Every structure is written in C-alpha cells, then in structure tokens.
Structure 1
Amino acid sequence: MTEQPGPGGRDPAERSGDAARSGTDLVPFRSAVRTWFLISLQTFGGPAGQIAVMQRVLVEERRWIGQRRFNHALNYCMLLPGPEAQQLATYVGWLLNGVRGGLVAGVLFVLPGVAALLGLSVLYVAYGDTRIVTALFAGLAPAVLAIVAQALLRIGRRILTHVSLAGIGLAAFVALALFNVPFPVVVLGAGVAGYLVSRLLPHAVVGTGTAGAGDGEADGRAPVVADDVLHRAVPGWRRNVRVLAVGLTCWVGPPLAIAAATGVGSVFTTQAVFFSAAALVTFGGAYAVLAFVAQQAVEVYGWLHPTEMVRGLAFAETTPGPLIMVVQFVAFLGAYRDPGALDPWVAAVVGALVVTWVTFAPSFLFIFLGAPYVERLRGNTGLSAALTGITAAVVGVIANLALYFAVHTLFTEVRELTWGPLRLELPQLASVQPVPVLVGLAAMGMVFVLRWSILRTLAVSAVLGVVVSLASGPITGLF
C-alpha cells in the first residue's frame, strides 16, 4: 500500500529526505533485516537469478528503490572486482540504511550459502568415494555444463550487440583457451579495448552507467523512498582514511593471525594470500574468474582434481549465495589434505572460513570506500565504455570455463598440446564417459527446451545420474 502524506501535508519523500540528512534509516531497520534474510534464502541460480530476486523484491514489491537507481548501482558494481550481486546488496543496503544496512545486507547475502556449502563439503569428504555419491555427481557435473552454456548464451545475447564487442569476447576466449594469458591481463586489455572502441566507434558502445538509464519505473509507480534522498556520504580524505583503516584491518587481520599461528608456509597462509589476490581480479562475476581459480587450484597448488572443481561448482549451484562460494569448497579440500599440525577436519573448517572471509571482506571495503565517488560518477561515458569492454570479454571467459569443464567432465584422459606460446588441452576421444554425456544431453533439453529452473534441472539430473550409474553394477557404499 502506498504511503500517504503525513501531518502537515509532508509526503514520504520529504520524510525520507529528512532521514537521509539526519543519518537515520530510510526504511525500518527491522523490516530491512527481515527482507534481506528472506532474499538470502532465494539467491539460487547465479548472479542473474540473484539480481532478479532483488529486482523483484526491492524494486517491484516493496518499492524501496527506483529502477534507475537499481540499474545504476548494478552497473557500477560490475566495474568492481568481486561478486557483483553481493556487492549490489551491500550497495542498496547502504543506500537505504547506511553502513549498518550495507553490512547486514552483504553478510546475510552469503551466510546461508556458507553454512550450506560447509555441510556439503563435510559430506563430500566423508562419503565422496562411495558409489552413491559418485553416481550423484555423475548427474550433477554435466548438468552444470548445461547451466554454464545457458549463462553463456544469455549474457552473450545481452552484451555482444556489435561486431566490435563480439571481437573483444572472441579475443578473450582465444587468449585464455589457446595462449594461457593471465586473467588480470585479459580484464585490463578488455577495459582498454572498450574505451578505444568508444572513441573510434561511439555508436558501438552504448554507455550503461548513465544517469538517465532506466528513468521510467517498470509499473509506472514511484518508489516509496525518493530517488534523490537515498543515503550518501561526502567523500574526503578523513573519511577515506577511516574507512581504509577499519576495512583493511578487518580484511587482513584474520589471515595475519593465521599466518602467525601456523607459519607463512602453511596451506592456510597460502590459501589466504592466493584468494585475497583472486578477490582483486574477479571482474565479471564468478563464471569469469572460475577458470583462473580452477587452473591455479588444480595445476599449481594441487588442492583438488579437475573433476572435483566441477563438483564444487555443482555444490555452489545448489546452495544459496554467490557462485564464487565454490572457493570455500576448494579451500576445504586443500586444507583437509594438507592439515599441518591440526586435525584434518579442524584444518578443513579453518581453511574454508578463512578463504570465505578474504573473498568477501574486500567487497565491503570497495563499496563503503567507493560508493560516495560512484554516486558522483553517474554519466561518466569513459568508465561506462570500459565496463562494456570488460563485460564483452566476460562472454569469452565464460566460454573458456565451459570448455574447461566439458573436457574434464566428459572425458577421463586429456593431453596437453604445446607449440610455442600455444597451449591447448585435447581430450582423448576413446576416454569419453557415456553417463555424463547422456545426462548432459538430457540437461540441455531441460534447460533450453523445457526451460526448467536450475534447481529442478540439477535435481532431475542427479536422479538420472544415480539411476544410470547404478544400473551398471551394485552399490558399494551408502551414506
């Protein structure tokens, strides 16, 4: 129900303006906490699904924020490294309820996923070698391929609107898949390419961060909280120093304590350093950085096997929260297998929680430090062009991820072909696995023909994997 003018004829927008200026909440804090918790339980299906949930709840149902401001916040969150959906929640929470609103929104966005994935990781390590669990993953892993393919096509249709953008996406795919170019270099090059394209072909790159984008509301109704009275802060060096001091202490404090307690060479310190660095280059969402994480975790550090990386993504797909939460699974297995002086189970939990912390803590720092400046950057065409170039490259990055997972899911043997700077993984056709191929084809039909939801597709694929796998022999183990 729409709010009516209060005493003295003052409407909700005026009262919201007073609240913003006085630093109080623009919406009741208790109601905000309850809403963010309910949103956190619905954040399945990757960033597209998570953003859609926030769009429906915050913009269409509660009307706490207008479509224009929602789009602006989303577009500039995509410029930052880290999970854009979680950062969007933090940003909107800050706009509505200040710093405590941003903290609540960001923490609740990931908390259910942390708990769920930690439980699944325990089950996997305890029972992952049994026949029934193997059969489950024989269905889940190829279903993930169908979901990644769907994300690739959906993002590609939305982003590659000009041949120059398609060229950036193709170049990113070739650089990663054939020449093993470092991921940060690909991201930086894409941003520069987007900016240059905007100078040479202005019509090819449509700015996505302009203040005028999406002026009209979806249903013609104005938001309850007026667009121009949302929380804001005046950027300045005093505020920056304060935010940096608190944010950096919270970010690096726990890893430094772990390093002091376990040594700089421990798996915990190695994981904390690696995933802290990864958090700084995760442009374009989880799909874009997973190929980089998978390559390093599997080939460089040996924390898990390629097929286990796919299984971890399947876990992340079936739990609420950002898909980048798969790094928790990676850390859990790596610490369990190299626990040092700790009990393996204790080491696994410590590793998982430390990596989760260093993965998401930077997002809060980026939002609280940069939000006041981001508010002033509305309409900056140069940054919008760089964003467009990066998002075009994300299409190529996701295509590389799909290729990586397909090779290691559908085949048991892969050989590496190298020729100068060229580096290519070729599957051995004789090692094809019939069960993943059959389930993968069925999952493609569920996603693209029947248009089933991600959870339904994963559930049915898991059942198919069990039925087809167990039909070939007796069960050797149960939960």
Structure 2
Amino acid sequence: MTSTTDHDAAVSASRVPSFAEAFRVWARIGCLSFGGPAGQIALMHKELVEERRWIGEQRFLHALNYCMLLPGPEAQQLAVYIGWLMHRTLGGLVAGLLFVVPGALVMLGLSLLYVLYRHIPLIDAVFFGVKAAVLAVVVEAGLRISRRALRNRAMVMIAIVAFIGIFVMKIPFPIIILAAGIVGWLGHRIAPATFSGNGHAGKQGQPAFKGTIDLMFERGELAHAEPSAAKALRVCAVWLPLWLGPVALLWLLAGPHSVWTQVSGFFSAMAIVTFGGAYAVLAYVAQAAVETFGWLAPGEMLDGLGLAETTPGPLILVLQFVGFLASYRAAGGLDPLLAGALGALLTLWVTFAPCFFWIFLGAPYVEALRGSKALSAALTAITAAVVGVIMNLALWFGLHVVFREVRPIAFLGLTPDLPVLSSLDWRAALLSAAAMLAMLRFRMGMVPTLAASALAGVAIIRLTGG
C-alpha cells in the first residue's frame, strides 16, 4: 500500500519545476556548496533527489558518472547537466553559473583584501596558521582518495610511479595523466580484472523511484537530450569561439609573452587535463605558477588554497587567486587592482567555459561511452595516478610550510626539491602536526580546523615574538 508521503512525493515529482523555482534552488546550492566535491554532491543529492525528487537516485548517479569521465570540477558539471536536462541550454547555464558565481565573488573580495592587507602582522599570523591546516586538508584528501583508488598492487604501483615522475623527474602533469590512461587501456586487455572500473560505478541497492526528469523522459519531453550531428556542430560553433576566441585575440594583441596571454593559455590547457579533481591539478599549477612563470611565491599558493577552502563553490576557484596575483603584479599601464580583477575574470572564463562545452557537446553521447570497459579501465588507472600527484602536492606544500628554505639538489642527473634541514620552522611543524591530528584522529571538519589553526597561528606568533 502506498503511503501518503510517497503519494505526495510522486505527485510533486510529476510536476516539472518552473524555471524560477529551479533558479532559486541553484542559487541556494551555489551559496551553500562548501566542503569540496564530496560535500557539494551530497548537498545536490539532498536538494534534488531526497527533498524535491526532481531526479531519481539512479539517474543522479548515472549523471554523476558521466561527469567523472570529463576534465574539470565534476560537481559543477553535474549541476550543469541536471539543469540542462530540466530546462535545456539556459537551464544548464544558470545552474553552472550559480554554482560558481557566489564563490567567485567571495574569492575576488578575498584576493583584493590579500594584496591590500597581507603584510599587516595580524593577517600574517592568521595565514601562518591557515597554511598548517591547508597541509592537513591536502593530506586527508589524498588518504581519502587512496582508500578508494588503490584497490590492488597494480594501482599502488601506478601511484608510486606517478609520484616519482612528478616530484623527482619533474614530468609534466598532463603527460602523467595521458600515460596512466594508456596503461589502464592496455591493462584492460591484459588483465581486465585488475583494471576493472568498479571504483567509478554508482552505489548499488538504492531504492528506485522516478523523479521529474525520469517522468519527462517517459513523456517524450527530453528531445533536446537526443544526440545528433547537427546539434554537436552547433555547440562547437558557439562554444569553441567563446572559450578560445579571447585566448587567440590576446595572443594577437599582446603577444605570446604578455601575462594575459600566459594566463589565458595556461589555464585553458589546464581545463583540458584536470582529471582527478582540484587537488590533482593544483600540484602542477603550484609548481608552474611559482617556478615556471614566477607569478607567486610558494607561501602565497598555500594562502590561496586556504582562501579557496573557506569559500563556497569548486575548490578550483583557487586558480582565480593565481590569475589575480599574476595580473596584479604585471599590470602594465593599468591600475594594479583593476588588472588583478581582469586577470581573475579571465582565469574564471577559460577555466569554466570548457565545463559547459563538455556537457552541452558530450552529454547526449556519454551514456554509450560510460558502458565502455576499456574507457573505465583507463579512468581507474588515471585515478590511481592522481593519488601519486596529490601526494606530491602534499609533500610540496609540507616542505614549504615546515622549512624556510627549499632548493633543488642534484642527484643522479635529477634535481628534486629538498629542504635545508637547518631552516626547519618548529612552530609551523607543531601547528601542522596538530592540524593533522585534529582532522585524521579526531575527525574535525575542514572549516573548524582552518579556524582553529588561524587562531593558533596568531597565538603562537605573539608568544614567540614574531
């Protein structure tokens, strides 16, 4: 017998939400999407599946698996995908933009405050503490992902090789990801059980119910989701110029060595290879921004990640902070704050415009791709490599937090970055150990750990006299 609650839910699900209703819900999700992709996906599940039943459980997981196949922030792309299903292209645009804009505005404000007040002693002390918490957050993320990804010795070996490749041999991140994908694809042919993509499957045994989108599909109201070559060509004709047009224009007007060209070109490339989430790509971005382009100091990258951890929206918004500082310091004839804001906007554009392109172009075709065991095996290997890349990020951050001086040391023709032991900062080491203990042993959340570490940083700097 059907309960009254189930009946009410079914009636509610049968009604297509208006665009205004969806707009309010996406705005709410965008303002509350703290906690990284896991927290953001959980929030969307609660709002869209459990409370409103706009999408069924299995279809939600199905869509999530689509987005895990793509480069870029999977939570934001999931929002775009569901918004597109309900209200076509405009719905996808609104869902994706509202997921990003609140956090981007906060991040812009924090970037402005950072360059204006960064060297006030109190602010210095706050960031001293925040860096310790950021290190703990990255380590915890790496351990969480490793538990899911390293399911056998082959995956562990891929992670180790990826770590050695990026830390010791300084192989570029995109090459490591490409190589891991090839290994997974070949591994599927040689040992399919070892490289099975079970880690990318959705939860099993979930209660099945039909949400609004499922009912729309049954009523034939999702014709816009059917693949066609004409639609694909239209998407390419619109979104490729929107994404890459500004990059080409800046290259022509400002030349290849302009900071604007470098920022747009570098982050456009990152948008193509950001498999594995923000923590994976940050290792490569941090090293490129600090060592290759000289846009930031090592400590500033840590500061930016700390700011991004405290804002709603995708963690990849830390790239906005990088673009802001790069443009702020190479303003040319512009006011530095204006140049920084324009650099932040440019970074946002080339980072997130591809996310819409991937969904609008690929969503009608991705279901067939998701059934490919070879592709799933490639993604399994990539996820294992991402663990090694994240461990590199944790080590890179740890060295720059705990030691005042890190320099390349020649060894067997290689030059890995190693610390100068005499430059150990015991205060930073103590705060980092305390933050890791709080998160890993006592399961303290990210935001409380950041807040407590900031207060501890102020206290310890005052007690030790700076």
Q: Please indicate the TM-score interval, normalised by the length of the shorter structure.
A: over 0.9
Residues 255 and 185 of structure 1, relative CA distance in 2, 3 Å threshold: closer
Q: Which has the higher helix share?
A: 2
Equivalent pair of 1:36/1:109 in contact (CA under 8 Å): yes
Match of 1:165 in 2: 155
Alpha-carbon distance, 1:216 to partner: 3.7
Cα shift readout 1:149-197 (whole Å, capped 9, x = no counterpart): 1111111111111111111111111111111111111111111122222
More deviation, 93-102/397-406: 93-102
Match of 1:417 in 2: 409
What is the correspondence of 1:267-286 to structure 2 with a 5 Å cutoff? 267-286=259-278
Equivalent pair of 1:209/1:379 in contact (CA under 8 Å): no
Cα shift readout 1:17-67 (whole Å, capped 9, x = no counterpart): xxxxxxxxx432222111111111222222222222222222222222223
What is the correspondence of 1:272-421 to structure 2 with a 5 Å cutoff? 272-420=264-412
Alpha-carbon distance, 1:376 to partner: 2.8
2:211 counterpart of 1:223: yes
2:154 is aligned with what amino acid?
Answer: S
Alpha-carbon distance, 1:350 to partner: 0.6
Equivalent pair of 2:9/2:53 in contact (CA under 8 Å): no
Q: Normalization by structure 2: what TM-score? A: 0.92
Alpha-carbon distance, 1:434 to partner: 2.1
Tell me, in whole angstroms, the C-alpha distance in 2 between the residues paired with 1:5 and 1:438.
Answer: 52
Tell me, in whole angstroms, the C-alpha distance in 1 between the residues paired with 2:205 and 2:90.
Answer: 29
SS at match of 1:415: strand
Match of 2:418 in 1: 426
Alpha-carbon distance, 1:336 to partner: 1.0
Equivalent pair of 1:140/1:461 in contact (CA under 8 Å): yes
Tell me, in whole angstroms, the C-alpha distance in 1 between the residues paired with 2:260 and 2:286.
Answer: 18
SS at match of 1:422: coil
What is the correspondence of 1:51-90 to structure 2 with a 5 Å cutoff? 51-90=41-80
Match of 2:130 in 1: 140
Tell me, in whole angstroms, the C-alpha distance in 2 between the residues paired with 1:84 and 1:447.
Answer: 24
Tell me, in whole angstroms, the C-alpha distance in 2 between the residues paired with 1:213 and 1:109.
Answer: 23
2:230 counterpart of 1:238: yes
Structure 2 residue ranges without an equivalent (≥5): none
Match of 1:19 in 2: none
SS at match of 2:110: helix
Structure 1 residue ranges without an equivalent (≥5): 17-25, 475-479
2:456 is aligned with what amino acid?
Answer: L
How many residues align? The count is 458
Cα shift readout 1:349-370 (whole Å, capped 9, x = no counterpart): 1111111110110110011000
2:199 counterpart of 1:199: no
Equivalent pair of 1:27/1:97 in contact (CA under 8 Å): no
SS at match of 2:409: strand
Cα shift readout 1:126-152 (whole Å, capped 9, x = no counterpart): 011111111001110110111111111
1:34 is aligned with what amino acid?
Answer: R
C-alpha RMSD of matched pairs (Å): 2.3
Residues 473 and 214 of structure 1, relative CA distance in 2, 3 Å threshold: closer
Residues 213 and 309 of structure 1, relative CA distance in 2, 3 Å threshold: closer
Give the % identical residues: 50
Tell me, in whole angstroms, the C-alpha distance in 2 between the residues paired with 1:451 and 1:222.
Answer: 36
Q: Normalization by structure 1: what TM-score? A: 0.90
Equivalent pair of 1:75/1:209 in contact (CA under 8 Å): no
1:190 is aligned with what amino acid?
Answer: A
SS at match of 2:416: strand
1:61 is aligned with what amino acid?
Answer: E
SS at match of 1:302: coil
Match of 1:33 in 2: 23
